[in-house]
Amino acid sequence: MNDRIRSLADYKAAVEQSTIDPEGFWSGIAEQFQWMKPWEKTLEWDFDGPDVKWFIGGRLNITENCLDRHLEQRGNKLALIWEPNDPKERFVRLTYRELHEQVCRMANVLKRNGIQKGDRVAIYMPMVPELLVSVLACARIGAVHSVVFCGFSAQSLADRINDAEAVAVLTSDGMFRGNKEMPVKRVVDEALEHCPSVKRVLVHERVRWAVEMKEGRDAWLHEELQQVDANCPAEPMDSEDPLFILYTSGSTGKPKGVVHTCGGYMVYASYSFRNVFQMEESDIFWCTADVGWITGHSYMAYGPTLAGATQVMFEGVPTYPDAGRFWQVIDKHGVSVFYTAPTAIRSLMAAGLDHVLPYSLHSLRVLGSVGEPINEEAWHWYKSHIGKNRCPIVDTWWQTETGGILISSLAGITDEKPSHAAYPLPGIQPVLLTTEGKEITENEVEGLLCVKFPWPSILRTTWGDHERCRQTYFSSYKGHYFTGDGAKRDAEGRYRIIGRVDDVINVSGHRFGTAEIESAINTAKGVVESAVVGYPHDIKGQGIYAYVVTEKPLPAGDVKAAENMRGEIIEAVAAGIGRIAKPDKIQFVSGLPKTRSGKIMRRILRKVAENELGSLGDTSTLLDPAVVEEIKEGRL
Ligand code: WT7
């Protein structure tokens, strides 16, 4: 394929062509895929709707491009190297031919269980090969997958299943995580007490736990797979048919289902993957994200398979059996392109070089970072101790909604600068706006990060609520997609992402709305109200700081009472969202700082949490200014 940018000259030419003739640029890239029917028109768009369509009238199946297309040239090439949680367990290797066969079989199982094109299928599975196979199997038959990360609670899973009205759930009996074994099917059972749309549950056996199988609803995947053959023609899909839904948090209470469609997503996932990482045929790629997040969709399930690459999938955690596991796996499988999150880098940096030095890491060629700003210290550590100062680092900025990387240097082609995501990919037109919505055209400025022209994998809607999509992303600044991030642009035009400007916090690269954490906290017995803000955290990037008002004041000095209440709150968050969202700090207060109209002054709470007590700003408009003094004194 020749959508590859191989030099600075190529890059400049691509930037120029994509600006002058975006449709020509993208159709040139799209032509390199296998289409069942060519598209009639490249693009129609209107950000006011929003209404964006790419490759209109085209028909394709993304899995033909991920799998069938490679069989002739790469049938015996490894598609997947699966590394289990326990380093002593055997790893699994699948060639493209084997992966193709497994996906076809799984797709036939889905069909056999009554799942049809357009049906929504929830996937709640740990990082086992069957997860990847399930995702691709849904795509093969045109079912819309909605992967829910296994760290989410039964309640969150139920909300997501109900919002999408999923007809089936694919899951596992349990999961291994470090030295723990955890239930998975049991969480599904609990969720399904509230999910009338689900007719089938297919269970992959991983930990061999005794699980309850509900007659008429539940079946074991290994038994089902014996009933089918490996012949499953790919379902023809319209370019704009939905491919998947992925739920993500926003500033309001309820997570929204971001919808990506078949044609545009395929083109952009592949284009961005190949170019950002400068993939070569012999590379071994490893993305450490979970398939439950967008990174695991675009740069595990789809990007690498579309490119015919070999990739590693890891079931475990970076610190098991010790903090050298990532580096051990890199040496073991000869990983050449490694893509992880700043939070992981910081925690492994904190574990000390003793865990790095035993490994050679000589196979590495390119390093990547994603999910949150990478601080300079972590960047330099990554560069020198992991990349041995010979691997370029790509700091990739993007979002669930963008479907793929929008801002990043291209490994070894465009320059890099610590803490800077750097340049937009050719075809991407970001702008910085003032809060009044005026475009800032100079450099060395700061503003709100927006995009003024569509790219193929921009979100199309939020499931079941198009108005919400319009309101959230397209209504703040007319004619622009608003990212929710603030950014700076330096003298050379490199972007540096500062972080969210809305009520969203980024904890270890995962996004949570403060409102959803508050609603979970408020379900705890004895809680009247709460306010949640983010604060700088050494490892997680941002930590969760909760201010909580209780019904009865906690007796001063009664450590036990406060501990119990904290426990209740953490359990409430674990049940409502999942342990991943549990507050790091909980401060009990007698009231929250509110304006006379009852609005919580989060700015003040944020400043206190950040320990910037000197710059609280004007507090005279508060209903009860005295509460601020109390909050300052009780700061944790
Ligand atoms: C938010 C999107 C994109 C996959 C993982 C997160 C932040 C993401 C970077 C980066 C600074 C980053 C932004 C963005 N973010 N990558 N390289 N530098 N910030 O996906 O859950 O949709 O979150 O993550 O704030 O808006 P997500």
| Residue of 248, 472, 511 to mutate, ligand 1, most atoms within 8 A of C-beta | 511
Give the C-alpha separation, 57 to 62, whole Å: 15
Distance 394 CA to ligand 1 centre (A): 14
For residues 36 and 57, is the Cβ–Cβ distance under 8 A? no
CATH code, domain with 141: 3.40.50.12780
Q: E-strand spans in 148-214?
A: 168-172, 174-177, 180-183, 200-204
**Identity of the amino acid at 298:** S
Residue 493, in any domain of the structure: no
User: For ligand 1, is residue 495 a contact (CB within 6 Å)?
Assistant: no
Beta bridge partners of 375: none
Distance 295 CA to ligand 1 centre (A): 10
pLDDT at 568: 97
Residues 111, 57: one domain? yes
For residues 246 and 146, is the Cβ–Cβ distance under 8 A? yes
Beta bridge partners of 204: 172
For residues 566 and 587, is the Cβ–Cβ distance under 8 A? no
Residue 3, in any domain of the structure: no
pLDDT at 358: 98
Report which protein residue has its CA nearest ligand 1's atom 19.
372
Q: Which of 494, 446, 507, 448 is nearest to 473 (CA)?
A: 448
pLDDT at 2: 61
Q: In degrees, to the nearest 5, what angle opens at C-alpha 206 toward C-alphas 203 and 210?
A: 70
Residues 572, 476: one domain? no
Residues 559, 464: one domain? no
> Which atom in ligand 1 lies closest to the alpha carbon of residue 396?
17
Q: Which of 176, 149, 209 is nearest to 321 (CA)?
A: 176
Distance 404 CA to ligand 1 centre (A): 11
| Residue of 497, 498, 503, 504 to mutate, ligand 1, most atoms within 8 A of C-beta | 497
| DSSP codes of every residue in 433-490 | E-TTSPEE-SSSEEEEEEE-S--TTS--EETT-HHHHIIIIISSSTTSEEEEEEEEE-
Low-confidence ranges of the chain (pLDDT < 50): 1
Residues 531, 597: one domain? yes
Residue with tokens 């491009």: 65
| Residue that is last in its domain, among 487, 519, 544 | 487
Residue 503, in any domain of the structure: no
Residue 375, in any domain of the structure: yes
Q: E-strand spans in 456-584?
A: 461-462, 481-489, 495-500, 504-507, 510-513, 527-537, 541-550
Domain boundaries, position 449:
8-487
| Residue of 251, 260, 374, 399 to mutate, ligand 1, most atoms within 8 A of C-beta | 399
User: For ligand 1, is residue 294 a contact (CB within 6 Å)?
Assistant: yes
Residue 46, in any domain of the structure: yes
For residues 242 and 392, is the Cβ–Cβ distance under 8 A? no
> Which atom in ligand 1 lies closest to the alpha carbon of residue 421?
17
When divided into structural domains, the chain yields a total of 2
Residues whose CB is less than 8 angstroms from the CB of residue 294 and which lie 6 or more positions away in sequence, other chains included: 246, 248, 258, 398, 399, 400, 403
| Radius of gyration over every alpha carbon of the chain, rounded to an integer in angstroms | 24
Distance 608 CA to ligand 1 centre (A): 25
Distance 551 CA to ligand 1 centre (A): 37
User: For ligand 1, is residue 297 a contact (CB within 6 Å)?
Assistant: no
Residues 514, 481: one domain? no
Residues 352, 227: one domain? yes
Q: By CB neighbour count within 10 A (0-12 exposed, 13-18 middle, 19+ buried), where does 615 fall?
A: exposed
Q: Is the pTM of this model over 0.95?
A: yes
Give the C-alpha separation, 524 to 406, whole Å: 40
Distance 458 CA to ligand 1 centre (A): 15
Distance 395 CA to ligand 1 centre (A): 10
User: For ligand 1, is residue 398 a contact (CB within 6 Å)?
Assistant: yes
For residues 406 and 397, is the Cβ–Cβ distance under 8 A? yes
Residues 39, 107: one domain? yes
For residues 413 and 426, is the Cβ–Cβ distance under 8 A? no
User: For ligand 1, is residue 512 a contact (CB within 6 Å)?
Assistant: no
Q: Is 57 left (phi over 0), alpha (psi -120 to 50) or beta?
A: left
Q: Hey, is 296 helix, strand or coil?
A: helix
Residue 521, in any domain of the structure: yes
CATH code, domain with 581: 3.30.300.30
Q: Is it true that the peptide bond before 536 is cis, omega within 30 degrees of 0?
A: no
For residues 257 and 116, is the Cβ–Cβ distance under 8 A? no
| Residue that is last in its domain, among 427, 458, 487 | 487
Residues 207, 249: one domain? yes
pLDDT at 554: 85
User: For ligand 1, is residue 484 a contact (CB within 6 Å)?
Assistant: yes
Residues 132, 258: one domain? yes
Residues 277, 337: one domain? yes
CA dist list (Å): 138 to 245, 275, 401, 460 = 12, 27, 21, 19
User: For ligand 1, is residue 248 a contact (CB within 6 Å)?
Assistant: yes
Residues 513, 629: one domain? yes
Residue 570, in any domain of the structure: yes
pLDDT at 1: 44
Residues 355, 427: one domain? yes
Report which protein residue has its CA nearest ligand 1's atom 5.
371
Distance 370 CA to ligand 1 centre (A): 7
User: For ligand 1, is residue 355 a contact (CB within 6 Å)?
Assistant: no
Residue 1, in any domain of the structure: no
> Which atom in ligand 1 lies closest to the alpha carbon of residue 249?
21
User: For ligand 1, is residue 379 a contact (CB within 6 Å)?
Assistant: no
| Residue that is last in its domain, among 487, 519, 542 | 487
